[in-house]
Amino acid sequence: MTSNTDDVLSRRKFLIASSAVGVAGLAGCTENNSGGSEGGDSGGSEGGDSDSSGDGSEELSGAIDIAGSSTVFPLATAMAERFQKENSGVNINIQSTGSGGGFANYFCPGDTDFNNASRPIKGEEEDQCANNDITPVELKVATDALTVIVNNDNDFIGEGLTVEQLQTIFSAEEAPTTWSDVNSEWPDEEIEIFGPTDASGTYDYFIEAIIGEEGPGHRQDYSATEQDRTIVQGVEGSEYAIGYLGFAYYSENTDSVQAVPVENDEGNYVEPSLDTALSGEYNPLSRPLFTYPAQESLAEEHVATFARYWMENSTSKEIVADEVGYVPLGDDEQQEMLDKLNAAIEEAN
Amino acid sequence: MATQSDTDQIQGFGQVSRTTGVIFRYLLMGATMFGIVTLAILLVYVANDAIQPLTADAGWYLVFFVTFVAPTTLVGAYLYRTNVDALKLGLLVVGMLAVTLMFSGGVAIVFVDIVPPLVSLSYAIGLLVPFAAVVLMTKYEDAIPFTARVAATGAIFFLSLFGIPGYYHSIPEMVQKIPVVPTEWVIITLVFGGVVAVVVGQYFARIRENTRAGVVAGVAALAATGAAAVSGMFTGVNPTALAVVAAGAFVPTAAYAGGAALTREEERIGLLLAAVVIGGSLVGAGIVDVLGFAGPQSWVDWQFLTSSHSGTAENAGLYPAIGGSILLMVTVAALSFPLGVGAAVYLEEYAPDNVFTRFIDVNISNLAGVPSVVYGLLGLGVFVTYLGQPTGTVLIGGATLALLILPIVIISSREAIRSVPQDMRQASYGMGATRWQTVKNVVLPEAFPGILTGTILALGRAIGETAPLIMIGAPNVLFNLPTELSSKVSAMPLQVYAWSSLFASEDFYTKAVPAGVVVLLAVLLAMNSVAIVLRNKFESES
Amino acid sequence: MSTDDLETDLTRKTENSPRELLTRSFFFLCAALSVVTTISIVALLVTEAAKFFTLTAPLMGVTGETASIVDFLTGTTWQIHNKEFGVLALVSATLMITIGSAIIALPLGVATAIYLSEYASKQARSVLKPALEILAGVPTVVYGFFALIYITPAIGVVLPGIGTFNILSASIVVGIMIIPMVASISEDAMSAVPDDLRQAGYGMGATKFDVSTGIVVPAALSGIFSSFILALSRAIGETMAVTVAAGAQAKFLNPLDPSSYLEGALPMTAAMVQLLTGDITGGGLAYRSLFAIGLVLFVITLIMNIISDYVAQRYREAY
């Protein structure tokens, strides 16, 4: 019985549906430009201070897949967000996989168009890419300044810290327990150490720049945390604490903690800031951040346009510094990257 | 407690154990409530963070108290004391409107941004034409041998959906090539609204036992859908979306309420509650708007639901993740429902009692206990590494989640099938039905509500899963809705996780994440309540 | 049994018609898919994990870096940066989550089951059971967020030494999450206790308390035990709540020392998520360790599920 009424129902539905199409012919009709291109739902605020060359003339479409470093991730999303507003036909998908994981599992197998990295590509990764006919194009997108912070009440470190002193404090070899172990003039108080976990790129770079890859390694008896917020809180709460984190977080908390000037290769103590990082004075704790588009993908217009857009905005203080917290490129560097990119695009076509 | 005396001493043991008994009882009750109360408190906190009720004007509260809270409480209390069944009906109508609104909102997203109405229509026709042919063939069941029928069915479906490239267009292609087509909202109104109108019409024809009443109701339903769409053109709201919402939420709820008013004389007073709730909130919103009282500065707002990710928490939205979750759900349901029910039917109706069957049995219960992150590895290893699929697409996300919930679907479907009385099967066999006919005509229809409940609950699990999506490399941020099975996809829980881990700034914690959590929980509660209502209905019927 | 024979009799004639064969084989394939799934999981985890170990990598044709299987299984240091893959550091964190959630979920779950099966009125049950189901239905990433944002600060008021990421609050939410599992399976076991036993107890003058604790619980013990194992296996495999709330720094902690629950650590499942999303350098070896952890996790949960099944089978036979 039930099946019988169902039959009636579905047959009637079918009749209605087909007659509906007929009726529709008389009602509101439009010309069919196949596919039904509905305008985007975008709207809202203006993007950055771009004067991108690609927009306006032709509607771009296609997908751009980006993977790689979680450090570069916020910068990539900030760029993508703005690009998307101007080019609603382009789908940008961004994934945080870590620099190495991005190269090995996504970029070199040809799955993604860009790979973000907080370090330059390694030889073995280039080999892997070459095996799959993928040519990475190295583009510097920003500079990250690692910042060593101490409590606001700390006045004994004076001018700042040397690389050797940082090495002493953070390496596993000496692992001093009190400040006086580092410098006998400093107070005999326990050092409380805060830092990122060993899974973070910041930790990695700190080892590379301060402790040395071959050395005894980073000490493990410190308060490791995944969140920079807790590093600031920890250092703020204890007079004899020290910690390090990305510049972005320090710049949001300049009242809560003080940044330690670090002695650079010329022997000057330099405090981290946008200017000192940009000029290269603040070293060795500033590191370049990269994105690697695949030259093969740059043959596609929407990918090339996005890469250009990113480079054109890489000097924007508004996006790179204020929103994401990295140091933007200087004009010369930007020109260099643009030339490199344009050469790669030309070669790809 | 009582004064000591000799007799008390004799009853001492009983006294002690009675006290123990009472304490024990309350301890048990406390233990039962612990988890529920803890979760309730957490929900209040997160809702407070997301909706920020304290930021609203006092006037706003006053208006809504007068127009909404007070009348609802009064009517509710009155119904509770006089007629509980009527109260239930009223609540059901309100709940139905809320759930159908959510559901049809999802469908609207599909039509507006994922599969345009014309394309959907073309595939619907592409499916209906061969379906009609097959129905026609069943009429001559005896004349054509079974194998030939199966072959013909396959061929018809293939030809109409795929055509022969180069020679003969498939039906969807032909439909999409028609030079002049109705505008999108007209298609939706006529097809989607039309189907709803037919159902509504049949419902009314049945309860009034009068075809004319049915026709009138059907026409009214279609007219209501059309009116909603047309009103969209004047108010600037997308008419396609309005047509979907009208046909999917307003018309069915109104029809149900209308039907109840006609047939359930005892309880129709309960509809007053629904009227007060809906009317009160509308009137309240109108007054607040006119008087200019500011509502709470909720992070869950229209902007949050309809925009995509942004670097600033205030502008961040969940839209691509909502669309992604919908597409994933469709894929998961399409894969896990037939496979799960098929396996359950095999194990309950066909399987011989041998070692292999018992092995499958144990195997399924073990699969139900495999951690979701291992399913993620399975998806990554099998679909991405071995089959070479691109990472993070709707297809492999859906397939991985489908494998994850398959054991749950199988187990709950088996329970539903097992609860079908053996007598019914025997009656069917006794009438000469084959096993398949018995399954098709007796077992599955009887077990269907139970199977549906189990599947909805399992889908609820799938919609909240994050780990497998991370494993298969779903993107953390995307800006557009996926439109194909091969598009990259994000999902609501994944987006919430990305906000809480990759944008670990205070702003995202206090704004975007709580808002995302509230939306996700609202969807889940809606799915759970549908399942529970279905189950209660089913249990009270059988 | 007899009805089966009857069915066989009634359907024998049509059993071999093409339509019956077709539908039957379709249903069989559906059921067989579950076996295929299991085989794929085992095969995948074993082959991929084999590429990770020095001992087995040559068999898989993998050159490159590998790790010692002994160090993996007995090492207590997990530092990807230094290529130290001691899974015990992760196992200790998982164990702590399991212990912590067990302390919450097992007593509460059993108490809930006793209440629902022995004390609650039918009406109370019809409200409480769906409410408990919702506890299990809340997405785990949401639980993780709750633990991190609301529970940890609340604990911090009482125990100021608690870390932002800590095992304690993660165990609490995992515990809440698995209460319904303990409760529903235990309740099934308690409902399966024949009423005769209860009546006999009351007949002897026992109170409801005596009957519940002295008769029903012991009689349902195997079912309760099986629910424990199943729930704990769920806690071990729980991923997002611990990823969000338990921390990201692998540490070997002593699960018997209460103070270590205030620290953060890296459970196995969270380590797997971290390997795919964190900003660690180095691709190959770290990536393959993912499958080695996955294998350990799968084996542990599989053993627990099998034990639970076995125990549950026994109690079903009892009545």
* CATH class of the domain defined by C71-318: mainly alpha
pLDDT band at A2 (very low <50, low <70, confident <90, very high): very low
Q: Does C137 touch chain B (CB under 8 A)?
A: yes
Q: Region B396-423: what's the mean pLDDT?
A: 94
CB contacts under 8 A, C 31-70 vs B, are 31-35, 37-38, 40-41, 44-45, 48
DSSP, residue by residue, A153-201: T--TTTT-B-HHHHHHHHBTTT--SBHHHH-TTS-S-BPEEEEE-TTSH
Q: Indicate whether A40 pLDDT > 50.
A: no
**B306-312 LR contacts (CB < 8 Å, sep 24+):** B306/A41, B307/A44, B308/A81, B308/A84, B308/B478, B308/B479, B308/B480, B309/A77, B309/A81, B309/B477, B309/B478, B309/B479, B309/B495, B310/A81, B311/A74, B311/A77, B311/A78, B311/A81, B311/A323, B311/A324, B311/B503, B312/A323, B312/B507
Residue C59, token pair as written in the block: 């068999």
pLDDT at A42 over 50: no
- pLDDT of res. B15: 54
Q: What is the mean pLDDT of residues B448-469?
A: 92
Q: What is the pLDDT of residue C142?
A: 95
Instruction: Find the closest chain C residue to A216 by CA distance.
Output: C82
Residue numbers in C near B340 (CB within 8 A): 30
Average of pLDDT values for C178-201?
Answer: 92
Residue in the block written with tokens 């209860």: C198
Percent of chain A with pLDDT over 70: 83
Q: What pLDDT, on the 0 to 100 scale, is given for residue A30? A: 62
**Distance of residue A182 Cα from the nearest chain B Cα, in angstroms:** 33
Check residues A164 and B509 and name the one with the higher pLDDT: A164
pLDDT at B76: 92
Quick one: tokens of A186?
A: 């400093």
The model's pLDDT over A290-336, given as tens digits with 9 standing for 90+, comes to 999 999 999 999 999 999 999 999 999 888 888 888 889 988 989 99
Tell the residue number behind the tokens 């509809």, with chain if given: B271
Q: Rounded distance, CA C230 to CA A285, Å?
A: 50
Q: What is the largest CA-CA distance in chain C?
A: 76
pLDDT in tens, B337-380: 999 999 999 999 888 888 888 899 889 989 999 999 999 999 99
- Reported confidence tier of residue A28, pLDDT bands at 50, 70, 90: low
The CATH class of the B313-420+447-541 domain is mainly alpha
pLDDT at A58: 63
Q: How far apart are the first and last CA of chain B?
A: 49
pLDDT bucket at B462, cuts 50 / 70 / 90? very high
The domains of chain B are located at 66-114+182-296, 313-420+447-541
User: What are the CA-CA distances from residue C242 to residues A152, A259, B463, C270, C305 (Å)?
Assistant: 34, 33, 19, 6, 21
What are the domain boundaries of chain C?
2-50, 71-318
What is the pLDDT, as a whole number, of residue B378?
A: 94
pLDDT for the residue B100: 93
Most confident of B84-88, B260-264, C94-98: C94-98
**For residue A24, is pLDDT > 60?**
no
- Residue C319: per-residue pLDDT: 52
* Contact predicate A38/B183, CB 8 Å: no
Separation CA A195–CA B376 (nearest Å)? 31
pLDDT for residue C241 is more than 90 = yes
B40 in helix, strand or coil? Answer: helix
Residue bearing tokens 């301890």: B27
pLDDT at A145: 87
Least confident of A15-29, A112-126, B419-433, C162-176: A15-29
User: How far off is chain B from A175, nearest CA to CA, in Å?
Assistant: 30
For residue range B378-394, list pLDDT tens digits in order.
999 999 888 888 888 99
Highest mean pLDDT among A56-60, A126-130, A225-229: A126-130
Please report the number of interchain residue pairs, chain A to chain C, with beta-carbon separation below 8 angstroms: 84
User: Boundaries of CATH 3.40.190.10 in chain A?
Assistant: 62-137+294-348, 144-286
Distance of CA A11 to the CA centre of its chain: 57
Instruction: Compare all CA atoms of chain A with the CA of B174 and give the residue at the minimum distance.
Output: A34
So what's the pLDDT on residue C36? 94
Distance (Å, whole) CA A177 – CA C218: 55
Rounded to a whole number of angstroms, the distance from the CA of C269 to the nearest CA of chain B is 7
Per-residue pLDDT at A41 exceeds 50: no
Cβ distance of C131 and B38 shorter than 8 Å: no
CB contact under 8 A, A96 and B502: yes
Q: In terms of Cα–Cα distance, which of C187, C186, C190, C183 is closest to C136?
A: C183
Q: Rounded to an integer, what distance in angstroms lies between the CA atom of residue C88 and that of residue C85?
A: 9
pLDDT, one tens digit per residue, over B483-506 is: 888 889 999 999 999 888 877 677
Q: From CA A83, how far away is CA A87, in angstroms rounded? A: 6
Which of A128-132, A198-202, C298-302 shows the lowest per-residue confidence on average (mean pLDDT)? A198-202
Three-state DSSP at A93 gives strand
Nearest to A70 among C79, C164, C277 (CB): C277
- To the question of domain A62-137+294-348 being in CATH 3.40.190.10, the answer is yes
Contacts of A201 in chain C (CB under 8 A): 279, 281
Dihedral over alpha carbons B109, B114, B116, B121 (to 10 degrees): -90
A144-286 — its CATH code?
Answer: 3.40.190.10
Nearest to B307 by CA among A310, A226, C72, A88: A88
Residues 6 or more apart whose Cβ sits within 8 Å of residue C109: C178, C179, C180, C181, C182, C183, C186, C227, C231
Q: Is the pLDDT of residue C281 over 60?
A: no
At residue B486, the pLDDT reads 87
| Minimal CA separation from A225 to chain B, in Å | 12
d(CA A223, CA A192): 8
Which among B376, C279, B390, C145 has a CA at the least distance from the CA of A96?
C279
Q: How far apart are CA B297 and CA C216, in angstroms?
A: 53
Sign of the C-alpha dihedral, residues B217, B220, B222, B228? negative
Pair type for strands A29-31 and A62-68 = unpaired
Q: How confident is the model at residue A39 (pLDDT cuts 50, 70, 90)?
A: very low
* Cα(B228)–Cα(B242) distance, integer angstroms: 6
Cα–Cα distances (Å) from B235 to A42, B232, B242, in that order, read: 19, 5, 11
**Contact: B28, C115; criterion CB under 8 Å:** yes
A41 with B180: Cβ contact below 8 A: no
Residue type, B347: L
Contacts of B475 (CB under 8 A, 6+ apart): A65, A93, A94, A95, B392, B488, B489, B490
Interchain contact, B436 vs C20, CB within 8 Å: yes
- Smallest Cβ–Cβ distance between A225 and the set C165, C280, C281 belongs to C165
Q: Does A223 touch chain C (CB under 8 A)?
A: yes
Q: Does A119 contact C at CB distance below 8 Å?
A: yes
Query: Confidence class of residue A14 from pLDDT cuts 50, 70 and 90?
Result: very low
pLDDT at B456: 92
Question: Cβ–Cβ of A70/B502 closer than 8 Å?
Answer: yes
* Secondary structure letter of residue A142 according to DSSP: E
| SS3 of residue A270 by DSSP | strand
B444-448, B499-503, C3-7: the lowest-pLDDT one: C3-7
List chain A residues with CB under 8 Å of C164: 225, 227, 229-230
Banded pLDDT at A149 (limits 50, 70, 90): very high
pLDDT, average across residues A192-213: 83
Sequence letter at residue B500? S
Q: What angle, 0 to 180 degrees and rounded to 10, lies between the N-to-C axes of helices A73-86 and A301-312?
A: 110
Cβ atoms < 10 Å from Cβ of C4: 11
> Cβ distance B460 to B527 under 8 Å?
yes
Taking only Cα atoms into account, the Rg of chain C, rounded to an integer number of angstroms, comes to 24
**Residue A291 near residue A64, CB atoms below 8 Å:** no
From A31, which residue of chain B is nearest by alpha-carbon distance? B180
Interface contact flag, B135 A11, Cβ < 8 Å: yes
Whose CA is closest to A90, among A129, A60, A120?
A: A60
Which of chain A's residues have a Cβ under 8 Å away from the Cβ of B183? 28-30
Specify the pLDDT at position C56: 86
Beta bridge partners of A241: A192
pLDDT, tens digit, for every residue of B9-47? 444 445 556 788 889 999 999 999 999 999 999 999 999
Whether residue C264 has pLDDT greater than 90: no
User: How far, in Å, CA of B35 to CA of C101, rounded?
Assistant: 12
Chain B residue whose CA is closest to A91: B480
- Asked if the interface predicted TM-score (ipTM) of this complex is over 0.90, the answer is yes
Using an 8 Å Cβ cutoff, are C266 and C247 in contact?
yes
Residue in A63, A95, A111 nearest the CB of B476: A95
Which residues touch B474 (CB under 8 Å, ≥6 apart)?
Answer: A95, B391, B392, B397, B488, B489, B490, B491, B494
Q: Which of A44, A94, A106 sits opposite B391 (nearest CB)?
A: A106
Give the distance from CA B464 to its chain's centroid: 13
**Between helices C221-237 and C167-191, what is the axis angle to 10°?**
150
Greater confidence, C282 or B142? Answer: B142
* DSSP secondary structure letters along B46-63: HHHHHH-GGGS-HHHHHH
pLDDT above 70 covers a percentage of chain B that reads 96
Higher pLDDT: B421 or A55? It is: B421
Q: What is the mean pLDDT of residues C225-233?
A: 93
Residue B93's pLDDT is what? 92
The verdict on whether omega for the bond into residue A284 sits within 30 degrees of 0, i.e. cis, is yes
Residue in A closest to B185 by C-alpha? A28
Q: How far is it, in rounded angstroms, from Cα C306 to Cα C300?
A: 10
CA atoms of B407 and B375, how far apart (whole Å):
12
Average pLDDT, chain C: 87
**Strand stretches in C17-128, DSSP E:** 78-79, 84-85
CA angle, residues C188, C190, C192, in degrees to nearest 5: 70
Of the candidates B146, B382, B536, the beta carbon closest to that of C40 is on B382
Residue C209 or residue B15, greater confidence: C209
Q: If you measure CA to CA, which chain A residue comes closest to C248?
A: A226
Tell me what pLDDT residue C291 has.
92
- Partner-chain residue, chosen from A99, A104, A223, that has the shortest CB–CB distance to C287: A104
Buried b (16+ CB within 10 A) or exposed e, B236-270: eebbbbbbbbbbbbbbbbbbbbbbbeeeeeebbbb
By CA distance, what is B521's nearest residue in C? Answer: C138
